[in-house]
Structure 1
Amino acid sequence: MNLNIPVRRTDGVKTAILASRFESIARKMQNTLFRTARSGILNTAHDFSCVILTADCRLLAAAESLPSHTLTGPDIMCRYVMKYHPDLKKGDCFLHNSPYEGNSHAADHCLIVPVVDDGGVLRFFVLAKAHQADCGNSRPSTYLGDVADVYEEGALIFSAAKIQSDYEDNQDLIRMCRARIRVSDQWWGDYLATLGAVRIGEREILELGKTFGWAELDNYAESWFDYSERKMADAIARLPSGKRVVTTAHDPFPGVPDGIPVKAVVEVDATAAMIRVDLTDNPDCQPCGLNLTEGTSMSAAMVAIFNSLIDHTVPVNAGSFRRLDIRIRENCCVGIPRHPASCSVATTNLADRVANPVQRALAEIAPGFGMAETGPIMPPGMGVISGKDPRHENEPFVNQIHIGVTGGAGTPVTDGFLSIIHVGNAGMCHLDCIEVDELHHPIFVAGRRLVPDTEGAGTFRGAPSMLAEFGPVAGCEMKVLYTADGTITPALGTRGGTEGARTQALKRGLDGSLISLPACYGAELIPGETVVSYSSGGGGYGSPLQRAPERVLHDLREGWITPDRAREVYGLITTGSPDDDSLAVDLDATKVQRAALAANL
């Protein structure tokens, strides 16, 4: 197989050392941001990413960043910085969050620093992307799914705006943000944390250049890209060639009463070691906040491919990306948005409706690869809460919470990742600590638990749903804004696996009664009322009748499935009792039960 990938004469040991050094710099950036940020969405949920790019805007290192933030987007944004500011100088820093110029959505504030050496030569870029608790939207949420366009969305949009020159802040931009963004002190702290991250990255790379020389670093980058491309080519070559057309749909939403259909054409060319995903045959931008950006459209397809290869030794950088051909078009809801289409929710809902079918298609093409579908997200359990805190002289608060979300998809080799949250962040975001949330905000979490019989059944099952119930403390009125998908269209299984449970949102009144809430909503709560959130379950991979009996027994003992589901879906017959730890598999009876269930399929 001649793929025309260059083979450079390089020192393999030095390449490995420099790869580690660049990744450690990205980790230092992340650690700085995580430990110094003020808002819970950053210092608890970890919704941020730090990356390093070459001077010509190719992704070089990303450490443990969110794929939806980083696979594509940073490269596009850095090109816009160069377009608008061709004379880059040491000490410059740019604030960029434009969804029309590469960013993920307006809520993700990116600080971009050109790494310029003492001779005035641009060597690298460092970029830190931090999801804001508030970004100046018309309502206190960074996810507004029910807006007709960016004007109704209301976010401040910065297009490669120079926020620092010679390491000094542009006070005009600082005042603009402080005046417009709710809880401005929180924003200011997050800005300083993000700024610290990029400045540390700049400092470390300048030191690296002095130690090794810039020519050596340039040679390393090219060698690393070539090595990564070969690794990706080898991984793709293990798959059979094939092509699938897969479809799904986002649930009906305000502005899109019939939902949004999504089609992905996925092709594996094992001979050429290429994977192609065509997203061009999809609707134009829609009158809602769900439209994707150029970065999130392409990243959604790419994260599905990396998930599906089941080879985590392939480096994630511009070199391995050479083996991927993602086709999108302008003015498409899963393509390149045209102003003034709103992309407020571009990192999650519709992005998952791209990634999930792609990984399911690869499972259909290549047995032993691909994945089932990860659960759709944004139930109230990861909504944005806002109000005034009676514990602190009625100071306003705004923050996104991650109290109860699961959704992991079954794979050919593992059960669903319980706390993946959604396919686009690949588990990099964290579930909140209940006690920390209750300390930070005037909320009371009444309960959080897994829900039995909600997993997508399979040889390897999806993650079960999670229930989370919470409300305001005494003296507080609170709003919970959320944009839930999956209330109608669940996460599908693959290769015989079944679908996961659907998302649900309910409100518990003062009398204890429950009423159903819409999929996209701003729930108003008074003390004594709670919102009840059910996250979606993940799809299963492979027939549940092929699941190892010991795995079924484990789930039964844990209470994740009931005895009826173990018997009727997985064909498990047991002896003994869970009450005295004598529960065990009856292998002979299980074989008979599974044969009977298989005969009725």
Structure 2
Amino acid sequence: MTVALPKPRQLPKIDPVTAQVIAGALNGVALEMGHKLARMSYSSIIRESEDFGAAILDADCRQLAECAYSTPLQLGPIPGYMRGVLKAMEEDGEEFYPGDVILHNHAYYGASHGPDIGIGIPIFREDQLIGYSFTTAHHLDIGSSSPGSCGIVDAVDAFAEGLQFKAVKLYEKGVKNRQVWRMLRQNIRSSQVVVGDIEAQVAACRVGEQRFLELVEQYGLDTVLAASEALMDYSERMMRQAIERLPDGTYAAEGFIDGFLDDPDPAKKDLKIAVTVTIDGSDMTIDLTGTAPQIDDRPINMPFVGTVDIAIFVTLRSVLLDTALMAYVPQNSGLIRPVQIIAPRGCLANPIYPAPVIARCCPGNIVADTLMKALAQVAPQNISGGIGNIKVASYSGALDEDYWVYMDITEGSYGGRYGKDGMDGVDTLYANTRNNPIEDIEAHLPLRVTRYELIEDASGAGKWRGGLGSIRDIQFLSPGQMSLEGEGNKYAPWGIFEGCDGTPGGVKILNPDEDSIQDLPSKFPCRKTKPGETLRTISPCGGGYGHPLERSPALVREDVLDGFLSIESARRDYGVVIDSATLALDDAATASLRQAGNRSATPPF
């Protein structure tokens, strides 16, 4: 029988120096876990894109440390994963024992979505449960109705999204549960890669377990827990101070997601995300009342725990505790204590099982983006203009009997921000993965990247312009199939403080046999492809910040020289005149044009 820590537990007082030393050691443990996972993984989504998380939790599922170079959408949900595991085990009358290893991906029990598998190990010391070592990672396939772990946008319920594991033991009391491993190998495409990645997660968790026990042996359990408690209290205190600096009141904003633009049902497209922020002293409430109802048979619903809460928490931390403006605040469970989140049951942001959720990533970005728009009313110098959302494509096929699957994330862009232009060609907000090198794609897969570049002449004009998205063409060299999930083909990233809106994205299929280009919506289910067919993804470009006529003419010229902006757009949107022959700045003509207040009503596409 598992024995948890007794409650209440009186912990000793600890000095700040010892607390910081232990904090550094805990972070070192999490970093080593992440390093081991990335180095041992088979798939590029973990190995190259770093779409994984690694953390140490205490026995109450509070996060003590995390691997800093993994992604927020993998790290943030980990405490929720573990609470979901314990809830599921309690419902089934199960218990933890030393040597257990748990497999968990149930999106209604804390997991972010099915492909993000969590692996956890309970950490025991002398038969006492003292914490958990936990990793999450995105897997290429989870046995869903169509290949890959993204773009399953026609899933009618949670069962169509793939295998659901609710606190299943991979190892029990140290003994490998071989039947579970057999089931994984028999029901997942590209199973050698996926099972290899799961084994890497298990190994990384074992490293975390071992290192945490070594730390407890060195300092004593009470000292480690006291240091962790002090650090969580500090993080809470810093968040509360940041909230207190904002004026009390209620601030609201709305955003929209495309949904399924090609669907005749109006309830499945043009879907509203509503955010209301209420500040009362050092407490903050985020209310999503007014958000569109869930869609019962399409997977763009977002789990409240694991997606929506993480979108909100990472945005608040980024805006209120910006490390570029203040000292680093430790990332732990103390940060979330001052914040309450409300979402009506049955809306997109709090769906009811078994509503599908596998394509929740891009809608979640709009939750974060809309929260940032609301915060612009109280923290104008800490936010950016609207972000250009990402797209996630699944490519797959069979070479003889070898089933290959590849997941590709097309970067988006950030909006302009106070003092700086928006970032170009980056994964946005809580996803924050790295792009996969072209060399890695072409060396391992029957795919060829024929075009990959920043979009020219399309960012939102402003004193600080929006970021540039990217265009990416990936061509099939053999028969296969592909699917896509994304957002932002209809709704452009918003400009702010008189900045212009950015530009929407796009999706196209290039067919060399017919010499044709076919426009597609921002998401489509699995479709067959022929050799030579190419998927082109076009990212949205971020919104501008501040009036374009206030932008430095020298910076406008730099954008022209870099190929980011045309001479015509420089004149039309910024009132900057550049000689087409010499590319020299015409100061007199610029001053005259700006004095006349010349400005385009809308940015070019």
Pairing partner for 2:287 from 278, 282, 297: 278
Q: Is the 8 A contact 1:309 1:370 kept in 2?
A: no
Instruction: Give, as a single letter, the amino acid of the residue that structure 1 aligns with 2:358.
Output: S
Which whole-Å CA distance do the structure 2 matches of 1:350 and 1:150 have between them?
17
TM-superposition CA deviations, 1:506-533 (whole Å, max 9, x none): 1112243212123322343212221222
| 2:164 corresponds to which of 145, 157, 160 | 157
Aligned to 1:481: 483
Determine if the alignment matches structure 1 residue 358 to structure 2 residue 398: no
Paired with 1:327 and 1:216, the residues of 2 have a C-alpha distance of: 36
1:545 match: secondary structure: helix
Relative to the length of structure 1, the TM-score reads: 0.90
Q: Is 1:557 paired with 2:561?
A: yes
CA separation of 1:16 and 1:572: change in aligned 2, threshold 3 A: farther
Match for residue 508 of structure 1? 510
Deviation at 1:584, TM superposition (A): 4.7
Structure 2 distance, partners of 1:365, 1:164, is 50
Q: Distance in 2 between matches of 1:398 and 1:281?
A: 38
Aligned to 2:7: none
Q: Tell me if structure 2 keeps the 8 A contact 1:82–1:88.
A: no
1:548 aligned partner = 552
Structure 1 position 327 matched with structure 2 position 335: no
Q: For residues 288 and 57 of structure 2, what CA distance do their matches in structure 1 show?
A: 27
1:376 aligns with 2:381: no
Mean CA deviation greater in 36-45 or 366-375? 366-375
Q: CA offsets, 1:202-239, max 9 Å, x none?
A: 11100000001000011001100111112112222333
Matches within 5 A, 1:385-396: 385-389=395-399, 393=400, 395-396=402-403
CA contact (8 A) 1:419 1:430 kept: no
The residue number in structure 2 matching 1:106 is 114
Q: Which residue number in structure 2 is paired with residue 446 of structure 1? A: 450
**Residue type of the partner of 1:46?**
E
8 Å Cα contact 1:574/1:586 also seen in 2: yes
- Show the counterpart of 1:43: 47
Alignment partners' CA distance in 1, 2:585 and 2:316: 37
Q: What displacement does 1:589 show?
A: 4.1
| Rounded Cα–Cα distance in structure 2 between residues aligned with 1:370 and 1:242 | 18
> Is the Cα contact below 8 Å between 2:64 and 2:228 reproduced in 1?
yes
Whether the 8 Å CA contact 1:25–1:204 is kept in 2: the answer is yes
- Change in 2 beyond 3 A, CA 1:273/1:590: farther
Q: Secondary structure at the match of 2:29?
A: helix
2:417 alignment partner AA: T
Residues 365-391 of structure 1: CA distance to partner in whole angstroms, max 9, x if unpaired?
33212222211222xxx30100023xx
Q: Tell me how far 1:135 sits from its aligned partner.
A: 0.6
What is the match of residue 424 of structure 2? Answer: 418
Asked whether the equivalents of residues 490 and 501 of structure 1 are also in contact (C-alpha less than 8 Å), the reply is: yes
Change beyond 3 A, Cα 1:459–1:523: farther
- 1:181-220 counterparts in 2 under 5 A? 181-220=188-227
Partner residue of 1:597?
Answer: 597
Identity %: 29
The SS at the match of 2:60 is coil
Contact 1:450–1:465 (Cα < 8 Å) also in 2: yes
> Counterparts of 2:579 and 2:282 in 1: how far apart (Å)?
50
Q: Distance in 1 between matches of 2:141 and 2:232?
A: 37
Alpha-carbon separation, structure 2, partners of 1:179 and 1:599:
61
Is 1:69 the counterpart of 2:113 in the alignment? no
The alpha carbon displacement at 1:147 in A equals 2.1
How much does 1:166 deviate?
A: 3.0
| Kept in 1: contact 2:484–2:523 (CA 8 A) | yes
Partner residue of 1:128 out of 113, 128, 135: 135
Cα contact 1:328–1:334 (8 A) shared by 2: yes
Q: How big is each residue's C-alpha offset from its partner over 1:179-215, in whole Å with a ceiling of 9 and x where there is no partner?
A: 1100111111101111111111111100000001000
Aligned partner (choices 134, 143, 146) of residue 139 of structure 1: 146
Q: Distance in 2 between matches of 1:176 and 1:573?
A: 66
CA distance in 2, matches of 1:233, 1:590: 47
SS in structure 2 of the partner of residue 210 of structure 1 = helix
CA deviation digits over 1:89-116, x for unaligned, max 9? Answer: 2211111100001110001010011111
Matched with 1:531 is 535
**Aligned partners of 1:187, 1:411: CA distance in 2, in Å?**
40
Q: Secondary structure at the match of 1:431?
A: coil
| SS in structure 1 of the partner of residue 597 of structure 2 | helix
**Structure 1 pair 548/243, CA: closer, same or farther in 2 (3 Å)?**
farther
Residue 318 (structure 2) pairs with residue 307 (structure 1)? yes
Q: What letter corresponds to residue 246 of structure 1 in structure 2?
A: A
Deviation of the 1:576 alpha carbon: 7.9
Note the C-alpha offset of 1:267.
2.6
Kept in 1, the 8 Å contact 2:85–2:109? The answer is no
**Amino acid paired to 1:112:** G
Check 1:282–1:600 CA distance in 2 against 1; reply closer, same or farther (3 A cut): closer
The structural deviation recorded for 1:306 is 1.9
Structure 2 unpaired stretches of 5+:
1-11
Given the superposition, is the C-alpha separation of residues 523 and 469 from structure 1 closer, same or farther in structure 2, using an over 3 Å criterion?
farther
SS in 1 for 2:57: strand
Deviation at 1:32, TM superposition (A): 0.8
Deviation at 1:590, TM superposition (A): 3.4
Q: What CA distance in whole angstroms lies between the structure 1 residues aligned with 2:481 and 2:347?
A: 32
Per the TM alignment, residue 394 of structure 1 is displaced from its structure 2 partner at its CA by 5.3
Count of aligned positions: 573
The equivalent of 2:5 in structure 1 is: none
Q: Which of 301, 321, 340 is equivalent to 2:354?
A: 340
Partner of 1:3: none
Amino acid at match of 1:327: I
- 2:75 is matched by which residue type in structure 1? T
1:468–1:532 contact (8 Å) kept in structure 2: yes
Partner of 2:98: 90
Match of 1:59 among 34, 57, 63: 63
Q: Is the 8 A contact 1:465 1:501 kept in 2?
A: no
User: How far off is 1:308 after superposition?
Assistant: 1.9
Structure 1 letter corresponding to 2:366? R
2:101 partner letter: C
Structure-2 separation of matches of 1:63 and 1:589 = 53
Query: Could you tell me how far 1:586 is from its partner in structure 2?
Result: 4.4
Please tell me the residue identity of whatever aligns with 1:156: L
Q: Secondary structure at the match of 2:592?
A: helix
Tell me the residue number matched to 1:33. Answer: 37
- CA-based RMSD: 2.2
CA shift for structure 1 position 310: 5.5
Identify which range, 130-139 or 161-170, moves more after superposition: 161-170
Q: What letter matches 1:289 in structure 2?
A: P
| Deviation of 1:131 (Å) | 0.3
Q: Could you tell me how far apart the structure 2 residues matched to 1:409 and 1:165 are? A: 49
> Are residues 588 and 221 of structure 1, via their aligned partners in 2, closer, same or farther at CA, if it must alter by over 3 Å?
farther
Amino acid of the structure 2 residue aligned with 1:373: G
Pairwise CA distance, 1:585: 4.1
SS in 2 for 1:290: coil
Q: Which amino acid aligns with 1:516?
A: D
Q: Classify 1:225/1:204 alpha carbon distance in 2 versus 1 (closer, same or farther; 3 Å).
A: same
Deviations 1:438-491 (A, max 9, x none): 111101111111111121222222221211112112xx1121210221111121
